[in-house]
Amino acid sequence: MNVLLDHFSDFRDGFIGTVSITAVSTVIALVLGLVIAGFRVSPIPPLRWFGTAWVTLLRNTPLTLLFLVTTFVVPEILFPGMSAFVLGSLALGFYTSSFICEAVRSGINTVPLGQAEAARSLGMTFPQTLSLIVLPQATRTVLPPLSSILIALTKNSAIAGAFSVTELFGWQKLMGEEGYDIVPVFLWVALAYLVVTFTISGVFRLLERRMEVAR
């Protein structure tokens, strides 16, 4: 109890840090994931290859390595001096985008065949078919895996703490270094993560209920 009370402001900053890096990288991952999923089913072969390469590469790379890449390689290519928060969200967002891409793609696969055929017979182009007909119907099946992916993203954001982003792991590390008993620290951090992940799964349960269709 003392650990939390003595260092409450650090803990609060850490919690806010975790929530904000999760939010920012969720946005990056969702946008990139949708775009890459579109690439992977598109009629243009080079884009399909790019999508496949992207997913294969990112899914088989440890996230820690991606953090190293964004910390040491990306500033060399773009401009130096980007904040650890931006770099961390980039790493997390890119990594998660490959999983979101696969979830969206398998969601597209569950839309009944006739829908796309009907759209095509009405003369819709590929972007129209995808964005007006297929993707809206795929949303329902994509939601449950998306919820697990975002929870995994929240958990993965802990790694950012090791790359000098202010968040909950950073707090745990600080307390560990200051010699506090690690068990209560661990429990408080665990509780904070549980709050975030339960919120995410609650929101998604709500969304799923709203999108439910009677069959």
Partner 1 sequence: MSASVLFDAPGPKALVRNRILAVAGSLLIAGLLAFSIVRLGEKGHLAAGMWDIFNYSGIRQNIADGILATLKAFGIAAVGSLVLGVLLAVARLSDHKPVRWFATGFIELFRSIPLLITIYAVWVGFLIDYSMWALAVGLTIYNGCVQAEVLRAGVNSVPKGQREAAYALGMSKTQVMVTVLLPQAVRAMLPTIISQLVVTLKDTSLGYIILYPELLNSARLIASNTLVDGKYPYVSTIVVAGIIYVAMCLALSGLATWIEKRGRRAKTGIGTPPAGQSALLSGDAGQAAATGILILGDSNQTGGPGTGGGGQN
Looking at residues 135 to 194 of the shown chain, list those that interact with partner 1 (rule: CB under 8 A).
Answer: 141-142, 144-145, 148-149, 151-152, 154-159, 161-162, 168-169, 172-173, 176, 181-183, 185-186, 189-190, 193-194
Closest CB 83 distance from partner 1, rounded Å? 19
Closest CB 140 distance from partner 1, rounded Å? 10
Closest CB 181 distance from partner 1, rounded Å? 8
Stretch of residues binding partner 1 (CB under 8 A), selected from 2-10, 28-36, 69-77, 82-90: 69-77
Task: Output Rg (C-alpha) for the chain, integer angstroms.
Answer: 20
User: Site for partner 1 (CB under 8 A): how many residues?
Assistant: 85
Q: State which of residues 4, 35, 41, 207 lies at the interface with partner 1 (CB under 8 A).
A: 41
The single-letter code of the amino acid at 158 is A
Residue 71: Cβ within 10 Å count: 16
Q: According to the binding rule CB under 8 A, does residue 211 interact with partner 1?
A: no
Letters for 2-21 (x = contact with partner 1 by CB under 8 A, - = none) are: --------------------
User: In angstroms, rounded to a whole number, what is the distance separating the alpha carbons of residues 161 and 140?
Assistant: 33
Residue that is written with structure tokens 């949708």 in the block: 34
Closest CA to 41 of 94, 101, 119: 101
- Please list, in sequence order, all residues whose beta carbon lies within 8 angstroms of the beta carbon of residue 153, skipping any fewer than 6 positions away: 22, 25, 26, 29, 92, 96
Letters for 108-137 (x = contact with partner 1 by CB under 8 A, - = none) are: xxxxxxxxxx--x----xx--xx---x---
User: In angstroms, rounded to a whole number, what is the distance separating the alpha carbons of residues 63 and 55?
Assistant: 14
Q: According to the binding rule CB under 8 A, does residue 22 interact with partner 1?
A: no
At residue 149, the 3 state secondary structure works out as: helix
User: In angstroms, rounded to a whole number, what is the distance separating the alpha carbons of residues 29 and 90?
Assistant: 9
Q: State which of residues 16, 31, 72, 132 lies at the interface with partner 1 (CB under 8 A).
A: 72
